Amino acid sequence: MPFLGQDWRSPGWSWIKTEDGWKRCESWSRDLESENNPRTISHSIILNSDDEEIFSNEEQEYTSKKRKKDHFRNDTNTQCFYREKWIYVHKESTRERHGYCTLGEAFNRLDFSSAIQDIRRFTYVVKLLQLIAKSQLTSLSGVAQKNYFNILDKIVQKVLNDHQNPRLIKDLLQDLSSTLCILIRGVGKSVLVGNINIWICRLETILRWQQQLQNLQVTKVNDGLTLSDLPLHMLNNILYRFSDGWDIVTLGQVTPTLSMLSEDRRLWKKLCQYHFAEKQFCRHLILSEKGHVEWKLMYFALQKHYPPREQYGDTLHFCRHCSILFWKDSGHPCTAADPDSCFMPVSPQHFIDLFKF
């Protein structure tokens, strides 16, 4: 049973000193006691006018604090913010530090809500949320869960407004909904922090987001230069800039010219060489009837067996000297003589691995 007092060690009782000694006053259960015991003595008999005024002020102050606390707990849009945008990663207790750092604590401290507004970090944060949805959702605390879904809500609204990166968010929501379905069906076998009804409401919200993204229509701009007006060599250069095969396939559906350019064997060969090693080619070699290598089919076949190479505009960094995780733009109080030599970029999977015990 949760305590109602301001101190976690207190059972929620208020004591008033009188001439006969200390009297216990449970103001929040006054109505209940008056129903069960008609002989209950009123506070006006126990207290004099000065004491009653002090007690009334204390009661109002306590009620105001409790109302704000309950509002903070129940408000799902509330997010915790911290002045420092870095976190010390420690896995065991030392003389200087006790306890350990959890994934949920790091998720709360590193300000991912602002990171999604930066185009360099957007893909990185989405990938990180996707990895958490696949394997680490049950390790998040209640506050971390609120922050997770608040950030996810901001990401969905951003995509609906600017129509950018909808496929990334669709994949994220698909993985998250699949995980939640499994956890909700297996409730009791797995540990879900929070009420099961809250998780069901979250699943319904995810399904609503998926429907909104499915109905997303990109508005056509009739004024100005379009892709059809560009020469072939410029269109070809655009295709060679993509690092994701699905982006090439999607762009090839825009015009017949782009469809022809997107089937270029050299384009898919370069993409395979960028993401995978030559030893992996030999294990999944796909040849056509004429004996040519089908690089496009090989790319999607290799993608099922091996993780593609990750590319991000900006990532979190880890200081090996201070054991601190931080955004490079924000920095951290490093004590090393040459701080830049201690920094190393942290991939989304490495971020998850840092908090595995």
Write the pLDDT tens digit of every residue in 7-49: 444 455 667 777 777 777 654 444 434 444 444 434 443 344 4
Q: Within a domain: residue 27?
A: no
Q: Within a domain: residue 36?
A: no
Q: Within a domain: residue 261?
A: yes
For residues 168 and 90, the model is more confident at: 168
Please check the confidence at residue 82 and state whether its pLDDT lies above 70.
no
Residues 151 and 250 in one domain: no
Listed in order, strand segments (DSSP E) in the chain are: 14-18, 21-25, 86-88, 316-319, 324-327, 343-346
pLDDT (0 to 100) of residue 58: 55
Q: Within a domain: residue 320?
A: yes
Residues 108 and 201 in one domain: yes
DSSP symbols for 145-207: HHHHHHHHHHHHHHHHHH---HHHHHHHHHHHHHHHHHHHHTBTTB--SS-HHHHHHHHHHHH
pLDDT (0 to 100) of residue 41: 39
Residues 329 and 211 in one domain: yes
pLDDT (0 to 100) of residue 32: 38
Q: Within a domain: residue 145?
A: yes
Residues 142 and 202 in one domain: yes
Which domain covers residue 159, as residue numbers?
86-217+312-354
Residues 162 and 255 in one domain: no
pLDDT tens digits, one per residue of 148-174: 999 999 999 999 998 888 889 999 999
Q: Within a domain: residue 60?
A: no
Residues 213 and 323 in one domain: yes
Q: Within a domain: residue 73?
A: no
Residues 265 and 142 in one domain: no
Q: Give the helix/strand (H/E) hosting 63.
A: helix 49-74
Residues 289 and 318 in one domain: no
* Last-in-domain residue among 305, 326, 344: 305
Q: How many domains does the chain have?
A: 2
- Say which amino acid occupies 63: T
Residues 190 and 130 in one domain: yes
Count of helices and strands (H, E) across the chain: 16, 6
Residues 301 and 333 in one domain: no
pLDDT (0 to 100) of residue 270: 92
Indicate the range of 64-73, 306-315, 348-357 predicted with least confidence: 64-73
Residues 136 and 179 in one domain: yes
Q: Within a domain: residue 284?
A: yes
Residues 196 and 289 in one domain: no
Indicate the range of 80-94, 124-138, 286-300 predicted with least confidence: 80-94
